[in-house]
Amino acid sequence: AQTVTQSQPEMSVQEAETVTLSCTYDTSESDYYLFWYKQPPSRQMILVIRQEAYKQQNATENRFSVNFQKAAKSFSLKISDSQLGDAAMYFCAYKNGANSKLTFGKGITLSVRP
Amino acid sequence: NAGVMQNPRHLVRRRGQEARLRCSPMKGHSHVYWYRQLPEEGLKFMVYLQKENIIDESGMPKERFSAEFPKEGPSILRIQQVVRGDSAAYFCASSPMSGFLRNQPQHFGDGTRLSIL
């Protein structure tokens, strides 16, 4: 079975600084997709960024980028120029190419210091 | 609002009652997923449905829980004879289809917070 591990329960970053959130996963599949979701206090689940395993290029979305290391099964999220609105729980998620369900990590709480 | 709609946002039930949670997928989406989030935990997959079909229910508890997605109307997650341990946030997500669009992300509703007294 696939597993997703987020070993850091909490992180803190100074406003305008850069922070990296870690995620590792375990799978024997070659076709899969990885996602980072943000959950603010309002509890919405907001898609931040996604990565297809077959793509070597790391995905980027404005201030958000990933470091996808396929051999190491690592998928970290980098947030540049952190803003107060970035404070939230962040979940790493995995989806098998042939299976539609998402497998989530336990999440990490990110706080942003003004 | 063309997003995934869940209602109610909050639901309070006493032990032994039934809880019904509703989810209307995004327009054009035919696949619905239900997830449960316990406090301080990530979301756990429960069930995946298409119209009138359950595709994957590997995450559903064997008893008291059922789900449907009828031809007309929203998807319903039903919990019979609720217990304290059912208290959680229940999220619904939808996607357009599988196949060549299988990399399309799931779009989530705002969730239903179920509290059992």
Convert the pLDDT of each residue in B32-91 to its tens digit.
Answer: 999 999 987 889 999 999 988 999 999 999 999 999 999 999 999 999 999 999 999 999
Using the predicted structure, report yes or no on whether residue B4 has a pLDDT greater than 70.
yes
Give residue B110's Cα distance to chain centre: 11
Chain A CB within 8 Å of residue B25 CB: no
pLDDT number for residue B105:
76
For A27-78, the pLDDT digits (tens) are: 998 889 999 999 998 888 999 999 999 988 999 999 999 999 999 999 999 9
Q: Which of A6, A35, A98 minimises the CB distance to B105? A: A35
Chain A CB within 8 Å of residue B45 CB: yes
For B11-29, the pLDDT digits (tens) are: 999 999 999 999 999 988 8
Rounded to a whole number, what is the distance in angstroms from the first to the last CA of chain B?
A: 33
Using the predicted structure, report yes or no on whether residue A13 has a pLDDT greater than 60.
yes
Q: Give dist(CA B41, CA B20) in Å, integer.
A: 23
- Give the 3-state secondary structure percentages of chain A, helix then strand then coil, rounded to 5: 5, 55, 45
Q: Give dist(CA B92, CA B112) in Å, integer.
A: 9
